[in-house]
């Protein structure tokens, strides 16, 4: 059970890092670059992918890897924006609700059967997402001024619009990444090899993007990326270990991970960072947990 607890804790810790990044003068795009370099090194050390055949991949796998190389850092940046604009609670919940996207794809694109239980879970998940996106609060602890309240509450205000879009981006982005990893698994590619290659491509594309922007490198941001990479990879590593610990009960791992992140993220966001949640947001969190329960893999 400790592997599950550690995976949940590191997942929430990533969101806490993203929440504190701006306050600590961390330039998140540089931290994300070093995060992927760190993840590559940890993947080599702990997962030991077969290096002799690392680049012996089919054309289909390389296409998927290319998409992952673009999506992984892009969605990480979107997640950072969501945590900053909407808070840890709603961002973590939106990320976990992304599990409904590969289920929808399986039904709509790959023509798999859809049970009544899954259909109800999808309805609850979409309802939860609608509740999360409704009048997203700013997530700041300090009470806003009268002018700020008017700006934040105004229909279509830039801050509210960015919060809405970033949460939607988190949901679609992580769901798409999940689909790509599942498709890669169907091709027979080894998970450890595909994980390392996707990290390597993400790091390379981040370097090229930052170089094209003539980025002024920032020592604190680069150093903090090591911490971000350790947290991010530890979440993945202990999730894998949890599946290895409970090979006959993947449902337990799936459910505990998703419900655990939503629950602990809510406690940390609302309890530590005083993120304000509307009644609709609270209803969305409850619906999200219900959706996860219904969408347990059977």
Give the residue with greater pLDDT, 127 vs 188. 127
Q: Torsion-angle region of residue 110: left (phi > 0), alpha (psi -120 to 50) or beta?
A: alpha
State how far the alpha carbon of 145 is from the alpha carbons of 19, 142, 149, in Å.
21, 9, 6
Report the percent of the chain where pLDDT is more than 90: 68
pLDDT at 146 exceeding the cut of 60: no
User: What pLDDT score was predicted for residue 156?
Assistant: 54
pTM equals: 0.89
Work out whether the CA dihedral 192, 195, 201, 207 comes out positive or negative: negative
Give the residue with greater pLDDT, 293 vs 160. 293
User: What pLDDT score was predicted for residue 244?
Assistant: 86
Whether residue 12 contacts residue 88, with contact meaning beta carbons closer than 8 Å, is answered with yes
> What is the greatest pairwise CA distance in the chain?
63
Whether residue 199 contacts residue 36, with contact meaning beta carbons closer than 8 Å, is answered with yes
Q: How do the domains of the chain map onto residue ranges?
A: 2-294
How many Å apart are CA 214 and CA 196, to the nearest integer? 27
1 contacts: CB under 8 Å, gap ≥ 6? none
Residue-wise DSSP of 26-55? --HHHHHHHHHHHHHHHIIIII---GGGTT
How many Å apart are CA 98 and CA 96, to the nearest integer? 5
């Amino acid at each position: 059970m400790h592997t599950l607890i550690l995976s949940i804790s590191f997942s929430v810790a990533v969101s806490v890092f993203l929440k504190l990044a701006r306050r600590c003068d961390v330039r998140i795009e540089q931290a994300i670059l070093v995060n992927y370099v760190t993840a590559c090194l940890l993947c080599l050390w702990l997962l030991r992918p077969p290096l002799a055949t690392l680049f012996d991949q089919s054309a289909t796998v390389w296409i998927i890897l290319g998409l992952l190389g673009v999506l992984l850092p892009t969605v990480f940046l979107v997640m950072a924006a969501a945590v900053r604009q909407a808070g840890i609670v709603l961002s973590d919940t939106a990320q976990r609700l992304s599990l409904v996207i590969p289920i929808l794809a399986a039904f709509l694109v790959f023509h798999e059967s859809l049970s009544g239980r899954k259909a109800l879970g999808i309805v609850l998940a979409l309802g939860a997402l609608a509740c999360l996106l409704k009048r997203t609060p700013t997530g700041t602890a300090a009470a806003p001024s009268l002018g700020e309240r008017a700006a934040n509450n105004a229909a279509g205000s830039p801050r509210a619009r960015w919060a809405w879009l970033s949460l939607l981006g988190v949901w679609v982005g992580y769901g798409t990444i999940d689909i790509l990893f599942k498709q890669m698994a169907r091709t027979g590619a080894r998970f450890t090899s595909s994980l390392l290659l996707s990290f390597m491509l993400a790091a390379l594309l981040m370097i090229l993007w930052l170089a094209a922007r003539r980025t002024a490198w920032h020592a604190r941001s680069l150093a903090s990326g090591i911490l971000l990479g350790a947290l991010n990879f530890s979440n993945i590593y202990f999730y894998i270990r949890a599946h290895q610990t409970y090979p006959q009960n993947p449902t337990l791992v799936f459910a505990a991970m998703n419900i655990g992140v939503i629950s602990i993220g809510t406690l940390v966001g609302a309890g530590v960072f005083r993120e304000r949640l509307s009644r609709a947001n609270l209803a969305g969190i409850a619906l999200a947990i219900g959706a996860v329960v219904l969408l347990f893999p059977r």
